[in-house]
Chains A and B, each alone.
Chain A
Amino acid sequence: EAQVTQNPRYLITVTGKKLTVTCSQNMNHEYMSWYRQDPGLGLRQIYYSMNVEVTDKGDVPEGYKVSRKEKRNFPLILESPSPNQTSLYFCASSPYPEGGANEKLFFGSGTQLSVL
């Protein structure tokens, strides 16, 4: 089954404790992206990657790191989480990073992160 898999689904942590949220897609998509979703603020892009070893900042990259060593994986790293990073996080992938008539983002099921 074609899918984007995020883990964990729920995560509670404490301020300053490094964490990684994993994202993997089995569709051979070139484009992958991380979003956070907060009430009243909508979906905001954190980082994106157009291909292996190519990453770029989105609208809210502060406090986050990413890497794209393999095409299928795009982990999100919080080196020192803070309470303002409490949010719902979505990973997404797409086969058409440069646009196209059938462009579509495939989303993972989300990770609800709480930083105490």
Chain B
Amino acid sequence: QKEVEQNSGPLSVPEGAIASLNCTYSDRGSQSFFWYRQYSGKSPELIMSIYSNGDKEDGRFTAQLNKASQYVSLLIRDSQPSDSATYLCAVKEGYSTLTFGKGTMLLVSP
């Protein structure tokens, strides 16, 4: 059984700070990694995908992948109250379907 682990939170950060969200996965064959954001009562939406070791930046978001440590993270710079949501880590191996973590709730206080 593939496992994707996330701290459930909530992770509380003040506005303007860097939020760091972490995710570990059990399947060493995993090749594709995703971060989805889910606002309360809404459906998940993709915000970042990463496939190679290292960092990938998109605006205020940076995804970091370390396959040797089986670790993927999401950094949100200059956090805003509108970033308050649950962040879901998802992992995929080859042609298999996505396995989601349980999500980390982020609260950004003004």
Contacts and interface: CB of A to CB of B under 8 A. Distances in A.
B102 A105 contact: no
A45 B97 contact: yes
Given A90-B44, A99-B92, A42 B32 contact: no
A98 B31 CA distance: 12
B103 A90 contact: no
Interface residues on B, range: 20 to 34
Interface in B56-110: 88, 92, 94-95, 97-98, 100-103
User: Is chain A's interface secondary structure helix, strand, loop, or mixed overall?
Assistant: loop
Most buried by A among B43, B51, B92: B43
A41 B102 CA distance: 6
Contacts of B88: 42-43
Contacts of A101: 51
A27 to B, nearest CB: 14
Interface stretch (A15-23, A60-68, A74-82, A106-114): A106-114
Most buried by B among A43, A90, A104, A110: A43
User: Is chain B's interface secondary structure helix, strand, loop, or mixed overall?
Assistant: loop
Interface residues of A, number: 22
A40 B46 CA distance: 21
A107 B44 contact: yes
Contact of B49 (A40, A104, A110): A104
A98 B100 contact: no
B43 A110 contact: yes
B55 interface: no
A9 to B, nearest CB: 11
Interface of B: 8, 31-32, 34, 36, 42-46, 49, 51, 88, 92, 94-95, 97-98, 100-103
Interface of A: 33, 35, 40-45, 48, 58, 90, 97-99, 101, 103-105, 107-110
27 contacts: A33-B97, A40-B8, A40-B102, A41-B102, A42-B88, A42-B101, A42-B102, A43-B44, A43-B88, A44-B100, A58-B97, A90-B43, A97-B95, A99-B32, A99-B92, A99-B95, A103-B32, A103-B34, A103-B49, A103-B92, A105-B36, A105-B44, A107-B43, A107-B44, A107-B45, A110-B42, A110-B43
